[in-house]
Structure 1
Amino acid sequence: MNIEESLQFLAKHQPMPSDLEITNVQCDLFVASLELFQNSHDVRCIPLFMNCVSEHTGMGMYEIIADVLMNQDRVNVIRGLRDGLQSNDIAIKYRCCWWALELDAWELLPIIEPLVNSDNEDLRDASEAYVNIAGENV
């Protein structure tokens, strides 16, 4: 799979199918995309990976997205995280909190801090974890 094929695949899977619906082929292509962008810089992959998550997907693959994000240009990743944190999708906000934490993106504290008041327990927990650790590092 090359970069363009991977980007097309990711664009068609926003979000990825649920854990109960994903096919082996889709899973393999997603993993191949992760591996490709862990070693390739391309700003276009950032929003595609961030928006492929949902509350019904995971299978442990989304944690690897942090590795992809670490390999991309930090300015663009921070911009993508800002956009993701303003999404209407709770799952995207949730993952962006964890990615921001893993990337030591302390500059996102003003955006993440209000999320500790979320009605969604998962988002509240993720944002609280970020805020607590950011407080020690800012």
Structure 2
Amino acid sequence: MDTESALDFLRKNQPMPPTNTVQQSELDSYDEIRKYFCHNYDDRCVDLFIGSFGDGDGHGVYQLVENTLAYYAPDIVVPALLRGLQSELESVRYWSAVIAAGYQDQRLLQPLLKIAGTGTFDERSAAAIALLQFKDESVQSALAEQLSDETGSEILKEILPEDD
């Protein structure tokens, strides 16, 4: 495998096929490419990984992309996450919100708050978890406002530990 062929695979899979139709060989290639970019750094892969998230969980491979992105500087990852959070694709927005939990960068606040207020249940949950990582009262207050509806209450029950 070389960098250009790995990047080409990612370019051709924006996004990957849905989990319920993706071929195992495609997932195997995706995972090999993910591992490749852990040791063969090329910043161009970051945006491509963010845009590659198809519907579903990629049979567990999508969760591992976060580990790959951890090898890259936040100055590269955060702008890619910003683009992902604004994607037209729910799957890209969801996984971008999941990964954003590892980056307490002020630039992520507004897109995460928007998703927390208007996304699907899963998107809102992921955005809320990411926003809870900010230990700032104003962020927590803004999050509470975004989750003030019935669905938001359900999300809070799901993600916050119960008081004993």
In structure 2, what residue type is equivalent to 1:75? D
Q: Distance in 1 between matches of 2:74 and 2:10?
A: 21
Residue 17 of structure 2 contacts residue 55 of structure 2 at CA under 8 Å; is this kept in 1? Answer: no
Q: Does 1:31 align with 2:31?
A: yes
CA distance in 2, matches of 1:51, 1:28: 18
Distance 1:136 1:40, change over 3 A: farther
Q: Structure 2 CA distance, aligned partners of 1:82 and 1:89? A: 13
Q: 1:86 corresponds to which residue?
A: 86
Change over 3 Å in CA distance of 1:119–1:30 after alignment to 2: closer
TM-score, length-scaled by structure 1: 0.89
Query: Where do 5+ consecutive residues of structure 2 fail to align?
Result: 140-164
Q: Distance in 2 between matches of 1:18 and 1:55?
A: 5
Question: What are the within-5 Å matches in structure 2 for residues 1-138 of structure 1?
Answer: 1-102=1-102, 104-107=103-106, 108-135=108-135
**CA–CA separation in structure 1 for the residues paired with 2:62 and 2:135:** 25
The Cα of 1:57 is off from its aligned counterpart by 4.6
- One-letter code aligned to 1:91: S
- 1-side partners of 2:57 and 2:96: how far apart? 15
What value does the CA root-mean-square deviation take over the aligned residues? 1.9
Question: Structure 1 residue 14: deviation in Å?
Answer: 1.2
TM-score by length of 2: 0.76
- Identical aligned residues as a percent: 26
CA drift of 1:98 comes to 1.1
Whichever of the two has the greater Rg, that structure is 2
Residue 73 of structure 1: how far off its partner (Å): 2.5
SS at the partner of 2:133? helix
How far off is 1:136 after superposition?
5.4
| Closer/same/farther in 2, CA of residues 2 and 40 from structure 1, 3 Å limit | same
Q: Distance in 2 between matches of 1:33 and 1:81?
A: 19
Contact 2:116 2:127 in 1 (8 A): yes
User: Greater relative contact order (Cα 8 A, min sep 6): structure 1 or 2?
Assistant: 1
CA distance in 1, matches of 2:43, 2:104: 18
Q: How many residues are matched?
A: 137
Segments of structure 1 that go 5 or more residues without pairing to the other structure are none
